[in-house]
Structure 1
Amino acid sequence: MKVVRSFPEGVDVIENVWIPMRDGVRLAARLWLPAGAENAPVPAVLEYMPYRKRDFTRLRDEPLHHYFAGHGYAGIRLDVRGTGDSEGILRDEYLAQEQDDAVDAIDWITRQPWCDGSVGMIGLSWSGFNSLQVAARRPPALKAIITMCSTDDRYADDAHYKGGCLLNENLAWGSAFFSLNACPPDPEVMGKGWRELWQQRLEHNRLFPALWMRHPHRDEYWQHGSVCEDYDAIECAVYAVGGWADGYVNAIPRLMEGLSCPRKALIGPWPHAFPHAAVPGPRIGFFQEAVRWWDYWLKGEDNGIMDEPPFRAWLEEWIAPAPVHDERPGRWVAEEAWPSPRIRPRQWYLNVLSLGERPDAQDAVRVRSPQTCGLRGGDFYGFGAEGDAPLDQRADDGKSLVFDSDPLTETLEILGAPVVHLELSADRPVAHIVVRLNDVAPAGASGRVSYGVLNLTHRNSHEHPEPLQPGERYRVPVQLNDIAYSFACGHTLRVAISTTYWPMIWPAPEPVEITIHTGASRLELPVRPPRPEDAQLRAFEPPERGPEPEHTPLEIVGYQRMVELDLTTDETVYTTFGDGGDFGGAALARIEDIDLTLGYTARKTFRINEHDPLTARAEIEQKTIFRRGDWNVRLEARTAVTSDADNFRVTAILEAWEAGERVFQREWDEQVPRRLL
């Protein structure tokens, strides 16, 4: 990738600036300013998140904000209250306090001599979420945002629940947040008070996975911060960006449909990552695209970006499943409106072990999946590491009820959300249904195109679940993730239905048999006809970035992903291990300009017996290191979830060391009712 070192504007970097909040708490920010901005004010771009601007995200912050400053924008990277070097305590994600602080920060920015009064927000993941949430607060200076890999619905499309099923990502992300929330401020920034603030963080830390599991339904807790509750609250311009390999991609079509403000959408083949560096590619010149967006909305330059089609996506094509792909074949396509009136539904019927364009006489087939169906499903949201994308689906297909079409006689292209309309019954009051849409190549390899899951007690609503009546027949739509995909001539459509999907979702409390009524159940695909104008779409520029800080990798662990089966007990153990930071691919690295050695690793272990869902156990172990001279801090966090028929048990141990001496230890052991999970 091209590294730009010479820009239209010189760049001045201010390592730390304190931004006061209305209650007197100070938040810590790092600034990149165009040279001379105090005499010739410029618009500002704010990125606001808890991931430690001083160290954890330093290697990704510098190339982005240096690039913006070099093109005439003040870049501000702000630590959320209670994180990094900011004062205060962070008690949960996306609190009203966090939004209040953002409003205060934007007001402070507009009153600085280097700011001309116009502000944008940018963010990926957490900072993508709060960009939407702050936009809904309508601070007058906020003119536009770029939100990446985020969601408009914190219950239905975040890392906690999917289709009313508990995601194991709830533990994985909650454990990462739990560990992050215990990290100290940097003494070089905070001064003598760093240890007192660190102790406060340790003592006030919360077992976040258990907190979120106490809200298994879509209640007021999740409605807060979900901008889908009132799309009209957002009036500034929104550029929503994401990737088909990310867990949050469904929010982008919903935002495009729900918002009435100026808006654009861009969806690539990318995972939970910036489009200029994402794997799989193609990678694009996203920093240039962002500058075009800011130039239009913050500087008033009519550069044509809003004359282009508002919805642009990478239409994926077949590639043989593999642990990692550097690029995903396909092409860019666009729609002039979303929802697009050009896209029409087309039906296939689930007949007895086949998928036909006409229904056969009604019949019934049954599925009771082993608890290990899903081992080839990849992660809820990948980051581009080996094995986090779905692998060849044939092993999981063998544990599912499968419906195959005849080989296609022509290319079939879709854009949108497939829906499988099922008529079914179950033999237990709590049951999950998992539906995958696969592309089967002539040689037999099966690639997952999209999938959806539903806790059938949520068949009528996520707010008020209802137990199933065993044996009663229900009509249930299961919406799959949005996708743009081209099925090639000669390939086969496959619908695979299972009752489990481990380790992505926590299993129902009992093994379940589901009866699918064939002839009455059907697949509905959003078929997109070719659009000749796609050939004239403006090409993205090649990826480039600003310079990054000098750093030295000290320990490389790679990324490990293993599945072990104990043939004497039928226990399957799924384990991943790797670095979870952004330290240039290292588990331990030295950041030279701040003379800091920084390390982070995470081991995730998921255990289950093939036949017994109550043997499920998920464990996360994390280690974090900060070292500079005599300053030596280490944190270790271990979290776990198990369950019986009625309750979850969530446990944790947090330990902290300074200079080799343990200065903090605490254990948590919480019981959470399952409430139809």
Structure 2
Amino acid sequence: MKTFFKLTLLLAFLVSSCSKNEKTTTTEVTEVEDTYVKDNYDKQEVTIEMRDGIKLHTTIYSPKDKSQKYPILMMRTPYSCRPYGENEFRKKIGPNTHLMKEGNIIVYQDVRGRWMSEGIYDNMRAYIPNKTDNTQIDESSDTYDTIEWLVNNVENNNGNVGTWGISYPGFYATYSTIDAHPALKAASPQACIGDFFFDDFHHNGAFLLSYFRAVSLFGTMKDVPKDSAWYKLPDLGTKDQYQFFLDAGPLSNLNSYFEYEKLDNVITSKSDQVDDVFWKEIIDHPNYDSVWKPKGLIQNLKHSKSSVATMIVGGFFDAEDLYGPFETYKAIEKNNPNAYNTMVFGPWDHGRWASTREKNFVGNYYFGDSISLNFQRDIETKFFNHFLKGDGSKNSGLPEAYVFDTGKKAWSSFENWPPANSTKQEMYLNANQELSVEKKGSSKEVFISDLKRPVPYSEDIKTVFTPRKYMTDDQRFAARRPDVLIYETEVLTEDFTLAGDIMAKLKVATTGTDADWIVKVVDVHPHDTEEQKEGMQDHLAMSNYHLMVRSEVMRGRFRNSFENPEPFVPNQKTAVNIKLQDVYHTFKKGHKLQIQVQSTWFPLIDLNPQTFVPNIYKATEEDFKNQTHTIFNDSAIEFSVLK
């Protein structure tokens, strides 16, 4: 609509995970009595039979007040709809407390093969178009069959259904719009996974080593319903994640961590036989092949129904799913230009918009008060009410693109994204660390990529399940290393606003035959900037703070094709383009815009051996070699600049 304005562990991370500093500086401002849901809702647990006979465990919370009809709001999840038992209640239900308190029928479902549902789980199950019989199932058909049962069997429903979910549940919310049930009127995919070769476990083909501990969560199979965890997360035995992975060596050495005690019919893994399904997929399929392509949902959004209103929600500092939300929004715009399709992007990390905390931090950086709370009240609740309880017209009163300027710390509304008044502007990586709109002379910068001392992604010494805080970390620790090249503008004399994607157009060379290339866009704060009074790690200060605004990696072998990797020719100048996801950020007057370029980012991503091998997951110690890398000054960064 151009003219109108993702186990309980992970789920807990999605809505309430925060750094140590944040926990000491934020307060709950939206209080809900622990017994509110039990006092105001009836709970029912049912098994809904799918078209192929498999039964899915479904939990239904219905308002005790039966004087009116209510819409159905549903979340399908691989993370469990616990607590199980009709006398066991969640403390909060639904997307937010407003939608819970005003009354809606809230439904949770364990997806096929997870927790209390029957069937075989398929991680990012591929969509099947033009199904020919009832044996052909996918998440679209399971959602359709579930909605069909709900609207015909749940009392006091008004016939309208909405879906929502954060992260993996966001993937299922997107999926619900494909071949959608007629009763589905609204969907809000939030931090939605779009493609596992570009979200979460990979970024442009580079393996996110920092997600290693999460692999077994998705790869340990079961074929009977279970109300407790059947998988085991690897214990690294240390708090120093950097040193652990450095000592571990090649990725093939990590196979030994997939050892599981046999639990009923669970597939087990041994050090000499890797049977964890997801880990096996990862290590046997290093390229974008017939395993990964079908799992991508973005390319199938041409099958989404234009009758389903969508509101995509994401965080500009989401370390897990940034590709998915942006690409989902753009794909719906492209394939369904007449559909009601909107996006909301705020100053959040993964799922933080669902938090009830007043102060909004990402890592050390403070963006303001009540940002999440206001979104829940003024945007999310209004969206679902309009399409599930209101007239459902395209004139919802909400903006097409509601985005937060992470530099000015203020919201803006646009009728298009990227904004119609944004233009492309290139800046060149010149000599003497200069970043400017003009290419000056002919020069190059050289650095040695030492695989025994890779560049850390964070200066924090700790082990995390999935990394988040680094997205706004102070980058001075990296800027002062010899293997990180720096280019920056003069002090800005006026505000400079980026609105849209960023393309790094590198011209590089290496003495080896493979390399990773990482580009970071950094906002360098003035020396005399106003101090942030709380929420920051003790060793930091806002004076000269190097705020990472955006970053991305390109595994060099995939520079021309994700399907067909190519080695570099040693010492030959080569083009490497890296797309960085969209930003909306004003580099304010008195600040500087800085670009950092490096070739390791550890252990966020695995180490590239810097020697071309068919499969990095099976590389040996002998393949890993230090190399010298060159960046030429006709390299440029193409920005989307708001005029």
Which residue number corresponds to residue 243 of structure 1?
315
Aligned partner of 2:532 in structure 1 is none
Instruction: Tell me how far apart the structure 2 counterparts of residues 245 and 7 of structure 1 sit (CA, whole Å).
Output: 33
SS of residue paired to 2:566: coil
Q: Deviations over 1:501-546 (max 9, x none)?
A: 101111111333221111x1112221123xxxxxxxxxxxxxxxxx
CA 1:183–1:284 in structure 2 vs 1: closer, same or farther (change >3 Å)? Answer: farther
Summarize the alignment of residues 182-261 of structure 1 with structure 2, pairs less than 5 Å apart. 185-186=226-227, 199-201=264-266, 206-235=276-305, 236-247=308-319, 248-259=321-332, 260=336, 261=339
Structure 2 residue 212 is the aligned partner of structure 1 residue 167: no
Residue 14 of structure 1: which of 43, 48, 65 is its match? Answer: 43
2:530 is aligned to: none
Q: Matched residues in 1 for 2:468 and 2:327: separation?
A: 30
CA distance in 1: counterparts of 2:96 and 2:411, whole angstroms = 28
1:256 match: secondary structure: helix
- How far is the alpha carbon of 1:373 from its aligned partner? 0.6
Distance in 2 of aligned mates of 1:9 and 1:407: 58
Distance 1:108 1:406, change over 3 A: same
Describe the SS at the equivalent of 1:136.
coil
User: What CA distance in whole angstroms lies between the structure 2 residues aligned with 1:67 and 1:22?
Assistant: 35
Tell me how far apart the structure 2 counterparts of residues 128 and 459 of structure 1 sit (CA, whole Å).
29
Please name the residue that 1:264 is paired with. 342
Provide the rounded CA distance (Å) in 2 between the counterparts of 1:263 and 1:361. Answer: 46
Equivalent positions of 1:57-136 (< 5 A) are: 62=93, 64=95, 68=99, 70-95=101-126, 97-99=137-139, 100-114=141-155, 115-136=157-178
What residue identity is the alignment partner of 2:349?
P
**Is 1:291 the equivalent of 2:381?**
yes
Residue 584 of structure 2 corresponds to which residue in structure 1?
Answer: 484
Instruction: After TM superposition, give the deviation of residue 438 of structure 1 in Å.
Output: 1.1
Shift of 1:85: 2.0
Deviation at 1:496, TM superposition (A): 1.0
Identify which range, 480-489 or 244-253, moves more after superposition. Answer: 244-253
- Deviation digits for residues 210-261 of structure 1 (CA, Å, limit 9, x no counterpart): 3233222222322324232133211221110010111322333333332122
Match of 1:144 among 173, 186, 193: 186
Distance 1:252 1:291 in 2: 19
Q: 1:342-381, aligned counterparts within 5 Å?
A: 342-352=421-431, 353-371=433-451, 372-376=454-458
Q: Which residue does 1:665 correspond to in 2?
A: none
Please give the secondary structure, in 2, of the residue aligned with 1:294.
helix
- Is the Cα contact below 8 Å between 2:192 and 2:324 reproduced in 1? yes
Say which structure, 1 or 2, has more relative contact order (CA 8 Å, 6+ apart): 2
Name the TM-score, length of structure 2 as normaliser.
0.71
Task: Give the deviation of 1:8 after TM superposition.
Answer: 14
Aligned residues of 2:37 and 2:91 also touching (Cα < 8 A): no
How far has the Cα of 1:360 moved from its partner? 0.8
Match of 2:637 in 1: 523
Aligned residues: 505
Q: 1:425 Cα deviation (Å)?
A: 1.6
Unmatched tracts of structure 1, length 5 or more: 188-196, 318-328, 530-677
Q: Which string of whole-angstrom CA distances, capped at 9 and with x for unpartnered residues, describes residues 257-280 of structure 1? A: 321221111011111124141752
Q: Distance in 2 between matches of 1:106 and 1:305?
A: 26
Q: How far did residue 340 of structure 1 move?
A: 2.0
Q: Is the 8 A contact 1:356 1:405 kept in 2?
A: yes
How far is the alpha carbon of 1:12 from its aligned partner? 2.5
In structure 2, C-alpha distance between the alignment counterparts of 1:166 and 1:476, rounded to whole Å: 18
- Cα deviations across residues 637-677 of structure 1 (Å, max 9, x unaligned)? xxxxxxxxxxxxxxxxxxxxxxxxxxxxxxxxxxxxxxxxx
Matches within 5 A, 1:587-606: none
Q: Is this contact kept in 2: 1:182–1:198, CA < 8 A?
A: no
Q: How far apart are 1:456 and its partner, in Å? A: 1.4
Aligned-pair CA distance for 1:130:
1.4
Change (3 A) 1:184 1:332: same
C-alpha change, 1:356 and 1:386, in structure 2 (3 Å) is closer
Q: Is the 8 A contact 2:474 2:547 kept in 1?
A: yes
Q: Counterpart amino acid of 1:272? A: H
Q: Is the 8 A contact 1:94 1:130 kept in 2?
A: no
Q: Any idea what SS the aligned residue of 1:210 has?
A: helix
Residue of structure 2 equivalent to 1:337: 416
Shift of 1:171: 1.8
Matched residue of 1:177: which SS? helix
Higher relative strand content: 1
Cα offset for 1:183?
11
What residue in structure 2 maps to residue 301 of structure 1? Answer: 391
What's the secondary structure of 1:396's corresponding residue? helix
Q: 2:353 aligned to 275, 282, 294, which one? A: 275
| Equivalent AA in structure 2 for residue 442 of structure 1 | P
Describe the SS at the equivalent of 1:221.
coil
1:3 is matched with 31
Cα RMSD, aligned residues only: 3.4
Structure 1 SS opposite 2:42: strand
Q: CA separation in 1, counterparts of 2:202 and 2:330?
A: 23
Question: Matches of 1:522 and 1:181 in 2, distance apart?
Answer: 50
CA distance in 1, matches of 2:180, 2:316: 30
- TM-score, structure 1 normalization: 0.68
The 1:272/1:402 distance shift into structure 2, 3 A limit, reads same
